[in-house]
Structure 1
Amino acid sequence: MSTFQTYTIENAPAASKASLEDTQRAFGFVPNLQANMAESPALLAGIRRCGICSRKAR
């Protein structure tokens, strides 16, 4: 079974840090789904653009 790195703002790839910081401001924490997707800055940015993981989507 594959395992995924669960990133924090401190250890995330540089291109993912701003997205994780925005998520932290919106939710008060970084959900595991986004912490795992931080491995791919393009994936994380795409999910944010779609509004799937945002307070506005609710």
Structure 2
Amino acid sequence: MSPEPDTINFRGHHYTLDEHGFLNPPEQWDEVFAEGMAGHLGIYGGLTPEHWKFI
């Protein structure tokens, strides 16, 4: 039996992660997820236009 998927929540949006921490399915990705993960990874104050160029 496989483990239950993990979920992460940002601003009322719920995202399912696989056992490696990737979005599953990846189509869940949206700007709320990007902003939430930025804060989760220590990028506070929001993503800048420079960040969005790379995203």
Q: Max radius of gyration: which structure?
A: 2
Structure with more helix by fraction: 1
Whose strand proportion is higher, 1 or 2?
A: 2
Greater RCO, CA 8 A, separation 6+: 1
TM-score w.r.t. length of structure 1? 0.27
